[in-house]
Structure 1
Amino acid sequence: MGGGGSALRVCAEHRGGINWLSLSPDGQRLLTGSEDGTARLWSTADGRCCALLRGHESYVTFCQLEDEAAFTCSADRTIRKWDVRTGQCLQVFRGHTSIVNRILVANSQLFSSSYDRTARAWSVDKGQVSREFRGHRNCVLALAYSAPRDLPFQEEPAAGGLLVTGSTDGTAKVWQVASGCCHQTLRGHTGAVLCLVLDAPSHTAFTGSTDTTIRAWDILSGEQLRVFREHQGSVICLELVDQHVYSGSADRTVKCWLADSGECVRTFPAHRHSVSTLKYHAGTLFTGSGDARARAFDAQSGALQRVFRGHAFVINCIQVHGQVLFTASHDGHLRLWDVRGLPRSRSRLFSNKVGCATAPLQPA
C-alpha cells in the first residue's frame, strides 16, 4: 500500500467547500456544487473549467448532470436548470419553502426533497410543480425512483412509477407519483434515515440510519425484509452492486453485505474518521472520509490498495470514470487522480477559472 499522490497543477479554487460532484452519463463532463453559491462545469478530458454557473443566492446543496442540461438545488429554496454548453440558466423551479436537499432527474421528471418536510415532482420543461408529497413529520433527505416498467402492476396509480423518500423523522415512504398518494410508510428505524438505495427489479429498498442499522424493505407491500446490524455508528452512505450492499459509517468502516440475506461478508477498516462517501468501480471500492483522504480497496479481498492524500478537509463526494478518480472536498478543491496501475497514483487540482486548462490526463 503506497502513499498519497501529489498535485500536478493548481490554478485557483472554489471560495467555499464543494458539497457535491456529478458525472454526466457519457462521462465527458463533471458538475460541482459549492458553498459559495456557484456550480462549475468541467471537461474530464483536459481538466478545463467550461462554465461558471451563477444565480443561486445561497449555497448549492446538490447537483445532477445530464448530457444536455445541468440541475442544481440550493439553500435558497430553489432548483435551477442550466445549459451545459453556454452555462446559461434556463429555468428556476420555485415552490419549496426551505432548503432543498436533494434532486433526482428520472423518467423525464425532476424530483426534489426539502427541509420543508415535502418532496415534489416537477415538469422539467415548464419548471412547475406537478405533485407534492406531504406526510413526513421532519426534513426529507434521500430520494430514489422506480419507473413503471420496473413494477409488476400497471394500475393507474402506479402509471407514473414510485418515489421512495427517507426522512429525519425515522421513516421512509413510498409514493405513487401519478396521484401523489402515500403507497407505503416504512417504519422500523429508531433514528433519522440518512441514505437509501433501490433495487428496482426486486422492488427492494435499503435504508441507512443514525440508529446504526440498514434495513431492507419490500416497497410494494411495505414489509420489512431484514435488518443489517453490525455497524457501531450512523450509516451515512450506501451503494448496491451485484446483490452486495456497501455501507459507509460514522464508525470509520465500510461493510459489505449480501443483499438477500443481510450477512456481513467483509469489513473495510483503515479510515480515521467517518466514511462520508463511497463508489464501486471495476472491482475496486473507493471511499472518501472525514479524515480528508480517499482510499482504494480491493472489493473482493478487502485489502487496502492505496491512500490518496492531499485534501485538507472532509471528502464529500467521489466519482470514477475509466481509470480516473475524482474527489470533491469541503476544502474547495476538486482533485483528479490517475488510478491506472494501482497502487501507484497521481493527482492534480482542477481550476475554477473559466478557460484555465491543466495538462491533459485522459481516462483510459
Structure 2
Amino acid sequence: MRKKSKCDKGRSNGPDLNGEIMSPGEFKIRLDALCSWVEDCNEYQKDAILRTLFPHLGASQLHWLSLQCPDLHAQCPSGCNDFIQKLPIHCAYKILSYLDPSSLTASAQVCKYWRDLSNADWLWHRLCFIQKWRLSSFGSRDQITRLRQRSNTGDMLINWKHVFRERFKLRRSWLSGQCHVRTFEGHTGGISCIQLDRNRIVSGSHDKTIRVWNIKTNSPWSVMTLSGHSGEVRCLYLEGNRLVSGSADSTIKVWDLDIQSEWSSIACKVTMVGHLDKVRAVTMNRNKDLVISGSYDQTVKIWCLKTGSCKRTLRGHEGPVLCVHWAGFTLLSGSADKTIKQWSVETGECIRTLTGHGDAVTCISLETDRIVTGSLDRTIKLWDSKTGKCVSTLDWMSSEGHTGVIRCLQADNWRIVSAADDKTIKVWSLETGRRLVTLKSHTDGVTCLQFNDFCIVSGSYDKTVKLWDFTVC
C-alpha cells in the first residue's frame, strides 16, 4: 500500500489501523462488515452505538442528520419515542441549531416535544443576529423596545421568536417590493434633499424652504416650515435635533428642531459663510462638533459646529463638489470632475483618488469595506475601500439598472437603494450586485432618498415627499 502524499490530502476515505489510507475497496468491505454487525445488535445495543458515535460527528454530519429528522420521524409508528427525545437535551439543541428558519418552524409541527425544543428562546435569538436577519443598531433597539413585555415577576422579557418573525416578514417585503406609500405635499418647488429619523422627515426644496413632517401621524402636511435661506436648499444633514442645511446662497445654517415656534428664525443657531458658490453637500459629526461641506467652488470645508468658523479648506477637485460622506476616520467627496477623493480630516491631506466614472459623481456611500457611488453616467460603482479598486459596475444593460442619471443612493450591510431621473427607486444586493426590486410612484425624477430598516423616504422634481413603509405589508 502506497504512503500518503500531499496530493492525497482531503481525499481519504479514512485511515486504517496502521494510519495509512484505505483503498476504496477495503473501505467498502469494512463498511459492509460494520453495517452487518449493527444489524445483528439488539435495540439497546444500537442505541448505545448511536450515543457513542454522536460526539465524534462533525458539523457537516450533524447538519445532514438534522435535515433527515422530519423524514425519519414520519416513518415511525404512532406514539413512538423518537431518537431526539433519547438524546441529552444539549445534543438535541445542537442538531436544531443547524436548521434554517423554515426547517426550524417545520420541526415544531412534528410533535409536542419537538415543538418545545424548537421554540427555545436562544435558538431564535441566535437567528436574529445572523447577518441576514440583523437590523441596524437603531432598528434593533426600536424593535426590541416595542416588543419587550413585562412578566408576572415584573421583569421585562423579549419573545425572540416574535422578534424574528417580524424581521422575516420585513425582509420578505423588501425583497418583493411590498410596501405602503404615503405622500406628503406642501412644497411649491422640486425637492432637492431629504433626511429621516424615528419620527420625522425633513425636506429641502427649490422653493428655498425646509419642511418638517411628522411620520407618526396620518397628516400629509408639514408641522414646521423653516425659512431663512435666500436660495434653493440643496442639502441637509440631521442628527438628533440638530439640522444642517446648505443652499445655493452659498451659506450653511444650523437649526435647532427642538424649539417649537412658528418663527423659524428662532430655530436657526448658526450661519456659516465662506464658500464662494452653491453649497451642494453637507455632513456632520456632533461628537467632534464638526460640519463638513462641499461646494460648486470646488472645495471641501471643515467647520466648527458651535462657532460656525471654518477650520480647514480641502482643495484638489477640478470641478464642483457634489457629494460628501463621513464615516469614522474616512471622509469621501465626489465631484463633477468624475473623481472620488478620500481625505484625512485631521491633516486635510488627500489620501487617494478613485477614477472610473464617465461623468460627474453625484452621490456616495460607504459600508464596511465598500464605497458605493452613483453618477450622471447612469452607473453605480462599487469600490474596495482599502485598495481604491472598482470591483463592480451596475448599469442598465447588464444589471437592469437605471435608464436616467443617478441622483442619490445609500447603502447598508446588505442592500443599496438608489434613485434616478427615470422616476424609479431601485433596491440592490450589496453582496451580489443583483437588482432586487424597482419601486415606482413618483411622476418625475427622484432627486433624493434616505432609508432605514423599516422604510424609504424620497423626494422628487414632482414637488412631493413619499414614505415607502415596508412594515405594514
TM-score range, shorter chain: 0.5 to 0.7
The share of aligned pairs that are identical, in percent, is 26
Would you say 1:191 and 2:324 are equivalent positions?
no
Aligned equivalent of 1:283, options 411, 414, 418: 414
- Identify if the C-alpha distance between structure 1 residues 252 and 139 changes in structure 2 by more than 3 Å, giving closer, same or farther: same
Q: Deviations over 1:307-329 (max 9, x none)?
A: 66787653434555658777765
1:315, 1:329 within 8 Å by CA — same for their partners in 2? yes
Rounded Cα–Cα distance in structure 1 between residues aligned with 2:196 and 2:434: 32
Amino acid at match of 1:96: H
1:112-151 equivalences under 5 Å are 112-126=245-259, 127-148=266-287, 151=288
Alignment match, 1:109: 242
TM-score normalised by length of structure 1: 0.67
Aligned equivalent of 2:226, options 62, 81, 93: 93
- Identify if the C-alpha distance between structure 1 residues 313 and 99 changes in structure 2 by more than 3 Å, giving closer, same or farther: closer
Alignment match, 1:66: 197
Q: Deviations over 1:103-148 (max 9, x none)?
A: 2222432211111101011232343322111110000011100122
Would you say 1:252 and 2:378 are equivalent positions?
yes
Rounded Cα–Cα distance in structure 1 between residues aligned with 2:296 and 2:251: 12
Q: Secondary structure at the match of 1:112?
A: strand
Cα-Cα RMSD: 3.7
Alignment match, 2:39: none
Rounded Cα–Cα distance in structure 2 between residues aligned with 1:129 and 1:231: 38
Larger Rg: 2
TM-score normalised by length of structure 2: 0.53
Q: Secondary structure at the match of 1:185?
A: strand
Rounded Cα–Cα distance in structure 2 between residues aligned with 1:96 and 1:324: 29
Gaps of 5+ in 2: 1-137, 147-176, 260-265
2:194, 2:449 within 8 Å by CA — same for their partners in 1? no
Higher helix proportion: 2
1:281, 1:320 within 8 Å by CA — same for their partners in 2? no
Q: Deviations over 1:69-106 (max 9, x none)?
A: 44333334333445553567554433322222222222
Q: Deviations over 1:162-187 (max 9, x none)?
A: 00011111111000112211111110
Aligned equivalent of 2:337, options 211, 214, 220: 211
Alignment match, 2:301: 173
Aligned equivalent of 1:235, options 348, 361, 371: 361
1:322, 1:363 within 8 Å by CA — same for their partners in 2? no
Higher relative contact order (CA 8 A, sep 6+): 1
Amino acid at match of 2:409: L
Shift of 1:280: 2.9
Alignment match, 2:347: 221
Amino acid at match of 1:230: G
Amino acid at match of 2:406: V
1:107, 1:147 within 8 Å by CA — same for their partners in 2? no
Q: Secondary structure at the match of 1:251?
A: coil
Gaps of 5+ in 1: 1-23, 29-43, 152-160, 337-349, 351-359
Q: Deviations over 1:26-59 (max 9, x none)?
A: 699xxxxxxxxxxxxxxx997374x8554x5544
Amino acid at match of 2:282: L
Q: Secondary structure at the match of 1:252?
A: coil
2:362, 2:375 within 8 Å by CA — same for their partners in 1? yes
Rounded Cα–Cα distance in structure 2 between residues aligned with 1:103 and 1:164: 11
Amino acid at match of 2:433: G
Rounded Cα–Cα distance in structure 2 between residues aligned with 1:311 and 1:82: 18
2:250, 2:278 within 8 Å by CA — same for their partners in 1? yes
Rounded Cα–Cα distance in structure 2 between residues aligned with 1:59 and 1:330: 4
Amino acid at match of 1:215: K
1:275, 1:289 within 8 Å by CA — same for their partners in 2? yes
Aligned equivalent of 2:393, options 259, 267, 273: 267
Rounded Cα–Cα distance in structure 2 between residues aligned with 1:105 and 1:96: 17
Rounded Cα–Cα distance in structure 1 between residues aligned with 2:254 and 2:290: 11
Shift of 1:294: 4.4
1:226, 1:261 within 8 Å by CA — same for their partners in 2? no
Shift of 1:331: 5.9
Amino acid at match of 2:320: A
| Bigger Cα displacement from structure 2, 102-111 vs 308-317 | 308-317
> How many residue pairs align between the two structures?
289
Rounded Cα–Cα distance in structure 2 between residues aligned with 1:57 and 1:77: 9
Rounded Cα–Cα distance in structure 1 between residues aligned with 2:270 and 2:309: 10
Q: Secondary structure at the match of 2:326?
A: strand
Alignment match, 1:19: none
